[in-house]
Amino acid sequence: MASQPVFLVDYSMFNAPEELKVDFYETQKAAWNWKCCKQEKHDFVSKMFLASGISTSRTAVPAAVQPTLTAEPKTDLNSSQAEAKMVYGQVISEVLRKTGLAPTDIDILITNTSIYCPTPSIASMVINMFGMREGVQAYHMGGMGCAFGVVGLNLVRDMLKAHPGKICLFVSSEIITGAFYPGQRKECLVTNALFRMGGTASILTNNPAWRSRSKYQLQHCVRVHTGASDRAFNALNWEPDEEGINGMVITKTLPSEAANVLEKGVRKITPSIMTWGQYAEAACNYIQAAAAQASNGKLCSTSAPYQPDYTRCADHFLLHAGGYAILRGIQKGLRLPAQAMMPSFASLRDFGNTSSASTWYTWSYIESTGGVKKGETILQIGVGGGMKSGVAYWRALRDVCDIHPCWAHLEGKPVTETDLPRPISNDYKSIYDLPSTRTAAEQQQVIEAGNAIPCVTLTTGTPTPPAAAAAAAAAEVIKLHAEAARSDAAAAAVAAH
């Protein structure tokens, strides 16, 4: 029997109070009052921030680690708990209000933060804060990184499959108070420059009765984990520096390992989201490559693997806004136009790197500025340490125009490229030409990091003779599309009942 489709009823985003929004230049001055602030560290973080694509005045930092609000940074458990209660309290209260649910209506609770993992768990904290019932199934996921906002959807889907008709509250955030690094090691300072407060809470269910009240239906969801490789596993680590101060170490191998796992995730979902026309194009590409091999006796080096136009696969793109270079790398790999990238860059500008919540800020931007039409599709891509990637594909069940409080400052007006701190449509390498902030060596490292995201391609394997190739390609096309069609039909049938 086919699994019941998963519906996203609604979701909410954390909207930080104005007093926590930082002014970069005021913060830059106030930081000198901290004992841990040294000239080299101060300059490095400033350069990283100015090249990050993040607004100098809109993003939020907890009071415990904000130079204008505290005499010295405080990364203790009590300070982290204060941030967690603020974020979780707001987003959960808001999503319950939007859906008309009571805390006792929640059957499954899944929470996530990477660094701050207290005992009792954050899931237990939520149960205590909201007075949830004793029978709620509660799970907290720690150390899952930036990918969990998408990867976690696989867990939600599987939990609902095991418990059909139940209601799941899925909450994802990163508590950055405990992740703040007061030391001097450069590899650990990147997080101070990029990460900001954020969080999201969503209500999901596979109860058919909720379909008419829901915004979206989950069509496909995949995940990839390359942690069996030491290189991938060690690309991003929470560890002590030479002085014993804990920090998130971002190694030089991170860009290439992130590119690898991202490519695998996109490659895995692509056959399920391609159009009939793109299947035909892929088959023709396969046959041409096979014919070239047959005539030349070897694989023709000029025959490029087929890569679909992803703007024909999805109407909207939610990409992990981890930083300017990350988004430009994904843009290059998926060959997306600037317009398709604008929501993710807007999210980066106004909220910074919000870790596992970043793709949801992008989603809320789209709903707040132009909306989503019934039947339109959304491709959601997350990537994070481990290494792991998650890709989800959604379809709108109705017209959605919902101005989220966190985007109210835009007054419904979309962000344009001229509004961004850095351009996104000019030559790929020239955007890193910042002689005033980087040495030649640093400049080259950033360019190489950005270019490390490879093009995501569909390969067809070793070509066979033309006739056999045609038959094989046609059979594979029909098989893949038939499987997708059966899945959609089964989901629709279940929803109808």
- Written as six digits, the tokens of 407 are 């985007």
Q: What's the pLDDT score for residue 150?
A: 95
In a domain, 490, yes or no: yes
Rounded (5°) CA angle 169-174-180: 160
Query: Of the residues 206, 246, 285, 320, which is catalytic?
Result: 320
In a domain, 471, yes or no: yes
In a domain, 496, yes or no: yes
In a domain, 495, yes or no: yes
The packing angle between helices 276-296 and 466-496, to 10°, is 160
pLDDT above 70 covers what percent of the chain?
84
Q: Is 353 one of the catalytic residues?
A: yes
pLDDT above 90 covers what percent of the chain?
52
In a domain, 484, yes or no: yes
Q: What confidence category does residue 37 fall into, taking pLDDT thresholds of 50, 70 and 90?
A: confident
In a domain, 485, yes or no: yes
Q: What's the pLDDT score for residue 32?
A: 84
Query: Of the residues 220, 316, 404, 451, which is catalytic?
Result: 316
Most confident by average pLDDT, 142-146, 334-338, 379-383, 450-454 = 379-383
Most confident by average pLDDT, 123-127, 253-257, 330-334 = 123-127
Q: Is 481 one of the catalytic residues?
A: no
Query: Of the residues 140, 146, 221, 313, which is catalytic?
Result: 146
Q: What confidence category does residue 52 fall into, taking pLDDT thresholds of 50, 70 and 90?
A: confident
Q: What confidence category does residue 124 fall into, taking pLDDT thresholds of 50, 70 and 90?
A: very high
Count structural domains, the chain. 1
In a domain, 293, yes or no: yes
Q: Is 234 one of the catalytic residues?
A: no
Check if the beta carbon of residue 217 is closer than 8 Å to that of residue 6.
yes
Residue-wise pLDDT for 203-260, tens only, equals 999 999 999 999 999 999 999 999 999 999 998 899 998 899 898 988 888 888 888 8
Residue 294 sits in which domain range? Answer: 275-311+464-497
**Residue appearing with tokens 């979206």:** 216
Query: Of the residues 112, 246, 285, 353, which is catalytic?
Result: 353
Residue-wise pLDDT for 104-115, tens only, equals 999 999 999 999
Whether the per-residue pLDDT at 494 is higher than 50: the answer is no
Rounded mean pLDDT, 325-333? 87
Q: Is 163 one of the catalytic residues?
A: no
Q: What's the pLDDT score for residue 5?
A: 94
- Written as six digits, the tokens of 494 are 């279940």
Whether the per-residue pLDDT at 413 is higher than 60: the answer is yes
Output DSSP code: residue 100.
Answer: T
Give the DSSP H or E segment for 320: none
